[in-house]
């Protein structure tokens, strides 16, 4: 919790002012009747998930629902302006690696139990291949992943295992990135 | 502010108390002194109320004072000192923050400081916004990224980065070489080197001649030969030859710096070579490209991911089948043999074309057709276009894994282009040597010609002793062959023809083909879109290599043609728009999506190599070839770098020249080189040592994890095993790791 907070403030500092400015404009465009132009009175406005999921940056992403759930306040996919900005600041080019790894872990943890278990892996692989792999192939892939990345051999990936594995990946930064 | 006000108020109260305490102490100490003095002087009626020092008054009723041992006395001293210190700190705090408290003389200054700090923060944020808005083509690149994925977009990012580098080179050459000569140099027509020769005057402004960069274009600030060798020009005494030389060196230095900086920035992303440890994990967690925003591309991506998984699964499942190793080795040898043949053939073709172009140069230009005039450039461009397809064909024999095959292809295309470039340079050197020989003849001829002219002139005025002074129009003066301008012209022509070839290729190869496939599909026997020819895919590696080699030519030619960076800027600008349009309009995303991540450093590495290889010929020419005697800013000197020596003599005080001469003492230079070699060796050893230490730590971390894991299962036999392993390791002996 504390670590996430500090990582969070670091990320917020690393996003340039222009990005935030641009994204505020986008947020209004999504739902002009919902989002007021003036935020100084801190109104409590939430953009529903359906609108977020149909944004051009996210509509083709198989993990868009998980992304919206992870960054929304109550985990239901409806986001306030703060959540919206958080999402784009984490997914931007300038966010630090460990912050991205932390949020990637949360996105791939479908059942929100702070561990990526075999069921989470199966969900991920199925979403990635749109169900084209047979059940046997999916389970083989999940086994291999646990074999490779599970450092403490408890049958599921903890945050440390995941970070240890993902921070060495050469493509992680370039693929886990949404350009604004 | 209210909250801080409260805090400050309570602080102040404390301060008051402390200040009073402090005053007490000072009073006490002062009264102590006074009492001593009192013994000596007559007592004066003091108005201060006498206060008994309870410490010293001994009363019978009081308990016996405890004997003061060292410890309590020291404790009391310490307490007193602490209180003094706190009092001083509080006083300082109050005086500093008087303004914040809203009272005292610091108020206005404090308010002013706060306002300036806020304005400064706002200014910084606005400046950051401005800088981010200044980055060009962001939307275009985003559109391409969302449709084609990150690997195609990496080409455009690379193009944009090159544009930035070239912009800096352009600003340097334009503002420090071309502009001063244009503003303060002698105008066109005033010197022989600045005038079109009489023979060519008639055709000097023809488009054909200008397109070849002859005629008026040759005798302008665009090329080396126009510049005068006067030491200073204009009212500012701008030292043009020195500036020309220094800007040339600075361009090379800046390019090295910027490429190295980009490379070192990317090194950190590598993360150490654990290539196969996390194969499946990386496939699962990093294969989806979050930049994709287009349903067609998303489809392709899904398919390629599925394919990827299936391949990895079959590789995992299948046992190692004993393939016919010998057949494969033979086929690969054969393929390499063919590749060598192709490379040799292309090298010979270029050499032959350059030789022919020299022959053509000696013939009358009107008898030559367009092909003969542009033969060499066409040959080079065509080779660059067709040989890669040949390499692709040969690679079918080799049967490598696609990623490895791609690396081989890139390496071969690189070798091809490099070979072509170097053959071109060799042919050029040949021509330069010819021109230098020719120059000697021309020099001898000129002295003869001048003598004849003066004799004839004097003869015609033998009756009239007063006549107009001897004057020859600059256009009539016989010229030496200016080899530097020739070199500059060759590179400019090569760049221009390269640009045209690229654009024509895109138009015909991509656009017309796409039109054909799209419109003739209705009336064709087979499905053009899915079968042959279908739409072209964007060839990332080919385009990146072309970009890199063009940049190499710019680096080589810009010393002899200061306009070359400017021409390149125009070219990159139009390329950006043209290629963005072509990609979005005529290309389809690659069916097989490759990861572009590692290749970024690969391309930068090639760029660095090309930079190094391009500056070598230039430096060789500067150091060892004599400049032409009648053109350019170094004419009349023995070598181009003598301009530095001349500047040291004339413009710097004599003691500085003496010192610098001492510094170029060979003994000192050798010592410096030795020190640098030692430094490189030491840094290399340190880096290796650190890498080894890194690997060691990783191993220990893994073992530690296993030990922790085995602790969960106390009956496990592994626990004892790992514990023993661990204990035997030095890491346990360190005091900080004992727990």
Is residue B338 in some structural domain?
A: no
Distance (Å, whole) CA A106 – CA A110? 8
DSSP annotation of B512 reads: I
Please check whether residue B227 is in contact with residue B244, taking contact to mean a CB–CB distance below 8 angstroms.
yes
pLDDT of residue B283: 86
pLDDT of residue B250: 93
* B-chain residues near A175 (CB < 8 A): 150, 286-291
Best of B284, B312, B313, B589 to disrupt the A interface by mutation (most A CBs within 10 Å)?
B284
Check whether residue B438 and residue B552 sit in a common domain.
yes
Of the pLDDT bands very low, low, confident and very high (cuts 50, 70, 90), residue B44 is: low
* B-chain residues near A176 (CB < 8 A): 286, 290
pLDDT of residue A4: 38
Region B68-85: mean pLDDT is 89
Burial A127-146 (b: 16+ CB within 10 A, else e): bbbeeebeeebbebbbebbb
Best of B132, B156, B267, B280 to disrupt the A interface by mutation (most A CBs within 10 Å)?
B280
pLDDT of residue B737: 54
Please check whether residue B357 is in contact with residue B434, taking contact to mean a CB–CB distance below 8 angstroms.
no
pLDDT of residue B666: 85
Distance (Å, whole) CA B273 – CA B267? 12
Best of A54, A171, A173, A180 to disrupt the B interface by mutation (most B CBs within 10 Å)?
A171
Joined together, the tokens standing for residue B414 give 């690189």
pLDDT of residue A1: 38
* A-chain residues near B145 (CB < 8 A): 179
Contacts of B172 (CB under 8 A, 6+ apart): B247, B250, B251, B254, B565
Is residue B152 in some structural domain?
A: yes
- B322 vs B576, residue with greater confidence: B576
DSSP H stretches of helix in chain A = 2-14, 17-30, 49-53, 64-71, 81-90, 97-108, 118-129, 135-149, 159-166, 172-175
Single residue among B610, B632, B654 that ends a domain in this structure: B632
Question: What are B641-653's pLDDT values in tens digits?
Answer: 888 888 888 888 8
Region B297-315: mean pLDDT is 80
B711 touches chain A (CB under 8 A): no
Joined together, the tokens standing for residue A48 give 């529903």
Please check whether residue A174 is in contact with residue B596, taking contact to mean a CB–CB distance below 8 angstroms.
yes
pLDDT of residue B86: 93
Check whether residue B639 and residue B545 sit in a common domain.
no
Is residue B166 in some structural domain?
A: yes
Min Cα separation B115/chain A (Å):
21
Q: What percent of chain B has pLDDT over 70?
A: 78
Min Cα separation B110/chain A (Å):
27
Check whether residue B688 and residue B715 sit in a common domain.
yes
pLDDT of residue B68: 64
DSSP annotation of B616 reads: H
Check whether residue B573 and residue B650 sit in a common domain.
no
pLDDT of residue A26: 55
Distance (Å, whole) CA A68 – CA A51? 11
Of the pLDDT bands very low, low, confident and very high (cuts 50, 70, 90), residue B53 is: low
Q: Do A176 and B294 touch (CB under 8 A)?
A: no
pLDDT of residue B678: 95
| Minimal-distance CA residue of chain A relative to B129 | A18
Question: What are B354-372's pLDDT values in tens digits?
Answer: 778 777 777 766 677 777 7
pLDDT tops 50 at residue B508: yes
Check whether residue B455 and residue B513 sit in a common domain.
yes
Best of A119, A121, A139, A168 to disrupt the B interface by mutation (most B CBs within 10 Å)?
A168
Question: What are B408-420's pLDDT values in tens digits?
Answer: 888 888 888 888 8
pLDDT of residue B272: 44
Nearest to B150 by CA among B605, B607, B608, B590: B590
Joined together, the tokens standing for residue B462 give 């033998």
Q: Which domain holds residue B176?
A: 139-186+245-323+399-459+472-632
Please check whether residue B544 is in contact with residue B603, taking contact to mean a CB–CB distance below 8 angstroms.
yes
pLDDT of residue B402: 65
Helix (H) or strand (E) holding B276, with range, is none
Phi, psi of A79 (to 5 degrees): -120, 140
Is residue B371 in some structural domain?
A: no
Is residue B467 in some structural domain?
A: no
Distance (Å, whole) CA B285 – CA A145? 10
pTM of the model: 0.67
Rounded to the nearest integer, the mean pLDDT of chain B is 79
Check whether residue B680 and residue B603 sit in a common domain.
no
Nearest by CB: A145 against B270, B280, B302:
B280
Which residues does chain A have with pLDDT short of 50? 1-22, 24, 28
Nearest to A167 by CA among A102, A86, A71: A102
Range of lowest pLDDT (A102-106, A138-142, B402-406, B565-569): B402-406
Please check whether residue B180 is in contact with residue B243, taking contact to mean a CB–CB distance below 8 angstroms.
yes
Nearest to B228 by CA among B249, B244, B217, B213: B244
pLDDT tops 80 at residue B49: no
Distance (Å, whole) CA B195 – CA B188? 6
| Minimal-distance CA residue of chain A relative to B705 | A152
Joined together, the tokens standing for residue B599 give 């290749």
Please check whether residue B326 is in contact with residue A95, taking contact to mean a CB–CB distance below 8 angstroms.
no
pLDDT of residue B383: 83
DSSP H stretches of helix in B268-324 = 279-286, 295-317
Helix (H) or strand (E) holding B474, with range, is none
Is residue B642 in some structural domain?
A: yes
DSSP H stretches of helix in B318-398 = 325-362, 370-398
Contacts of B650 (CB under 8 A, 6+ apart): B231
Counting the structural domains of chain B, the total is: 3
pLDDT tops 90 at residue B85: yes
For A105-108, the CB contacts below 8 A with 24+ separation are A105/A159, A105/A162, A105/A163, A105/A166, A106/A70, A107/A63, A107/A66, A107/A67, A107/A70, A108/A63, A108/A66, A108/A162, A108/B285
Of the pLDDT bands very low, low, confident and very high (cuts 50, 70, 90), residue B274 is: very low
Q: Which residues of B, range 416-455, sit inside 8 Å of A by Cβ?
A: none
Q: Do A173 and B292 touch (CB under 8 A)?
A: no
Check whether residue B531 and residue B602 sit in a common domain.
yes
Distance (Å, whole) CA B538 – CA B583? 7
Please check whether residue B479 is in contact with residue B505, taking contact to mean a CB–CB distance below 8 angstroms.
no
Helix (H) or strand (E) holding B465, with range, is none
Check whether residue B271 and residue B285 sit in a common domain.
yes
Distance (Å, whole) CA A168 – CA A148? 13
Q: What domains are there in chain A, each with its CATH number?
A: 44-91 (1.10.238.10), 97-179 (1.10.238.10)
Region B297-313: mean pLDDT is 81
Region B548-556: mean pLDDT is 91
- B658 vs B526, residue with greater confidence: B658
Distance (Å, whole) CA A69 – CA A77? 4
Check whether residue B542 and residue B445 sit in a common domain.
yes
- What is the maximal distance between C-alpha atoms in chain B? 143
pLDDT of residue B724: 55
pLDDT of residue B102: 65
Check whether residue B524 and residue B586 sit in a common domain.
yes
Distance (Å, whole) CA B83 – CA B92? 14
Residue A168: alpha-carbon gap to chain centroid:
19
pLDDT of residue A19: 41
pLDDT of residue B688: 93
pLDDT of residue B599: 62
Is residue B502 in some structural domain?
A: yes
pLDDT of residue B111: 86
pLDDT of residue B735: 59
* A-chain residues near B269 (CB < 8 A): 170, 173
pLDDT of residue B689: 94
- What is the maximal distance between C-alpha atoms in chain A? 55
Joined together, the tokens standing for residue B654 give 């004599």
pLDDT of residue B726: 54
pLDDT of residue B37: 43
To 5 degrees, how large is the angle CA B705–CA B710–CA B716?
Answer: 160
* B-chain residues near A56 (CB < 8 A): 146, 293
* A-chain residues near B280 (CB < 8 A): 141, 144-145, 148
Output the DSSP codes for A37-88. Answer: S--TT-----B-HHHHHTSTTTTT-TTHHHHHHHHSSSSSS-B-HHHHHHHH
Distance (Å, whole) CA B128 – CA B115? 20
| Minimal-distance CA residue of chain B relative to A137 | B313
Q: For helices B402-460 and B483-505, what crossing angle results, to 10°?
A: 140
B592 touches chain A (CB under 8 A): no
Check whether residue B679 and residue B711 sit in a common domain.
yes
Contacts of B635 (CB under 8 A, 6+ apart): B193, B229, B627, B628, B629
* B-chain residues near A145 (CB < 8 A): 280-281, 284
- SS3 state of residue B537: strand
Cα end-to-end distance, chain B, whole Å:
48
B293 touches chain A (CB under 8 A): yes
Distance (Å, whole) CA B70 – CA B75? 9
Contacts of B223 (CB under 8 A, 6+ apart): B213, B217, B485, B488, B489, B560, B561, B562, B563
Nearest to B583 by CA among B209, B159, B275, B268: B159
Min Cα separation B48/chain A (Å):
60
B39 touches chain A (CB under 8 A): no
B268 touches chain A (CB under 8 A): no
Min Cα separation B668/chain A (Å):
45
B396 touches chain A (CB under 8 A): no
Distance (Å, whole) CA B424 – CA B349? 11
Check whether residue B519 and residue B628 sit in a common domain.
yes
- B722 vs B576, residue with greater confidence: B576
Q: What percent of chain B has pLDDT over 90?
A: 17
Q: Residue B621: how many CB atoms within 10 A of its CB?
A: 20
Q: Do A17 and B126 touch (CB under 8 A)?
A: yes
């Amino acid at each position: 919790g504390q670590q996430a907070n500090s990582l969070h403030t670091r990320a917020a500092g690393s996003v340039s002012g222009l990005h935030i400015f641009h994204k505020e404009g986008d947020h209004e465009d999504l739902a002009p009747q919902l989002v007021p132009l003036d935020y100084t009175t801190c109104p409590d406005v939430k953009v529903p998930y359906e609108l977020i999921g149909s944004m051009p940056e996210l509509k083709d992403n198989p993990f868009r629902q998980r992304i919206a759930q992870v960054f929304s306040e109550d985990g239901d996919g409806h986001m306030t302006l703060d959540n919206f900005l958080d999402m784009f600041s984490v997914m931007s080019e300038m966010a630090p690696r460990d912050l991205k790894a932390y949020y990637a872990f949360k996105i791939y943890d479908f059942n929100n139990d702070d561990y990526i278990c075999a069921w989470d892996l199966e969900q991920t692989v199925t979403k990635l291949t749109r169900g084209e792999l047979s059940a046997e192939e999916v389970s083989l892939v999940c086994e291999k992943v646990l074999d490779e990345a599970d450092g403490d051999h408890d049958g599921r990936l903890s945050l440390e295992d995941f970070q240890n594995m993902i921070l060495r990946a050469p493509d992680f930064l370039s693929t886990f990135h949404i350009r604004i | 502010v209210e909250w801080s006000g409260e805090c400050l108020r309570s602080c102040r109260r404390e301060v008051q108390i402390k200040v009073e305490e402090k005053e007490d102490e000072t009073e006490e100490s002062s009264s102590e002194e006074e009492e001593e003095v009192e013994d000596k002087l007559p007592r004066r009626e003091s108005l201060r109320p006498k206060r008994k020092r309870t410490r010293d008054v001994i009363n019978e009723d009081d308990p016996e004072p405890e004997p003061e041992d060292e410890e309590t006395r020291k404790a009391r001293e310490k307490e007193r000192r602490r209180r003094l210190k706190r009092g001083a700190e509080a006083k300082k705090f109050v005086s500093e923050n008087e303004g914040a408290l809203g009272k005292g003389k610091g108020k206005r200054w404090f308010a002013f400081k706060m306002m300036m700090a806020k304005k400064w923060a706002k200014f910084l944020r606005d400046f950051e916004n401005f800088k981010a808005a200044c980055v060009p083509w962001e939307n275009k690149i985003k559109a391409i990224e969302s449709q084609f994925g990150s690997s195609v977009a990496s080409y455009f990012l690379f193009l944009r980065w090159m544009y930035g580098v070239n912009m800096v080179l352009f600003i340097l050459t334009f503002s420090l070489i071309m502009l001063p000569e244009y503003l303060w140099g002698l105008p066109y027509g005033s010197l022989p080197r600045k005038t079109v020769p009489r023979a060519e005057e008639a055709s000097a402004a023809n488009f054909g001649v200008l397109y070849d960069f002859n005629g008026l274009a040759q005798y302008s600030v665009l090329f080396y030969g126009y510049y005068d060798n006067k030491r200073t020009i204009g009212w500012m005494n701008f030292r043009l030859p020195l500036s020309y030389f220094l800007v040339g060196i600075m361009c090379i230095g800046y390019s090295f710096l910027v490429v190295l900086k980009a490379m070192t920035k990317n090194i950190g992303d590598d993360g150490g070579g654990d290539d196969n440890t996390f194969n499946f994990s990386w496939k699962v967690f990093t294969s989806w490209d979050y930049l994709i925003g287009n349903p067609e591309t998303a489809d392709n991506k899904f398919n390629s991911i599925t394919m990827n998984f299936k391949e990895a699964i079959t590789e995992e499942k299948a046992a190692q089948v004993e393939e016919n190793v010998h057949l494969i080795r033979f086929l690969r040898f054969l393929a390499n043999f063919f590749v060598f043949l192709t490379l040799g053939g292309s090298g010979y073709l270029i050499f032959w074309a350059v030789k022919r172009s020299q022959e053509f140069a000696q013939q009358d230009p009107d008898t030559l057709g367009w092909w003969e005039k542009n033969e060499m450039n066409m040959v080079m461009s065509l080779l660059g276009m067709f040989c890669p397809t040949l390499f692709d064909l040969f690679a079918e024999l080799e049967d490598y894994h696609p990623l490895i095959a791609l690396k081989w292809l890139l390496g071969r295309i690189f070798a091809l282009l490099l070979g072509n470039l170097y053959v071109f340079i060799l042919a050029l050197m040949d021509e330069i040597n010819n021109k230098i020989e020719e120059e000697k003849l021309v020099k001898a001829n000129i002295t003869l010609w001048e003598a004849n002219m003066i004799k004839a002139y004097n003869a015609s005025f033998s009756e009239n002793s007063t006549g107009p002074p001897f004057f020859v129009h600059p256009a009539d003066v016989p010229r030496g062959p200016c080899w530097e301008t020739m070199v500059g012209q060759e590179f400019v022509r090569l760049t221009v023809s390269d640009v045209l070839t690229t654009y024509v290729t895109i138009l015909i190869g991509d656009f017309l083909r796409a039109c054909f496939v799209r419109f003739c599909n209705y009336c064709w026997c087979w499905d053009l879109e899915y079968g042959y020819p279908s739409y072209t895919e964007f060839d990332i590696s080919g385009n990146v290599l072309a970009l890199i080699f063009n940049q190499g030519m710019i680096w080589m030619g810009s010393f002899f043609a200061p306009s070359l960076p400017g021409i390149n800027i125009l070219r990159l600008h139009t390329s950006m728009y043209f290629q963005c349009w072509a990609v979005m309009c005529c290309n389809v995303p690659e069916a097989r999506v490759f990861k572009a991540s590692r290749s970024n450093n690969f391309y930068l590495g090639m760029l660095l190599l090309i930079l190094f290889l391009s500056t070598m010929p230039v430096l060789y020419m500067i150091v060892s070839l004599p400049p032409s005697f009648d053109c350019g800013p170094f004419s009349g000197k023995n070598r181009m770098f003598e301009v530095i020596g001349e500047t040291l003599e004339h413009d710097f005080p004599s003691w500085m020249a003496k010192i610098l001469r001492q510094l170029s003492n060979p003994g000192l230079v050798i010592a410096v080189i030795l020190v640098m070699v030692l430094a490189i060796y030491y840094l290399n050893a340190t880096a290796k040592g650190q890498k080894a230490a890194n690997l060691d730590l990783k191993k220990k971390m893994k073992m530690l994890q296993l030990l922790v894991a085995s602790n969960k299962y106390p009956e496990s036999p592994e626990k004892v095993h790992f514990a023993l392993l661990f204990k035997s390791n030095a890491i346990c002996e360190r005091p900080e790791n004992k727990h």
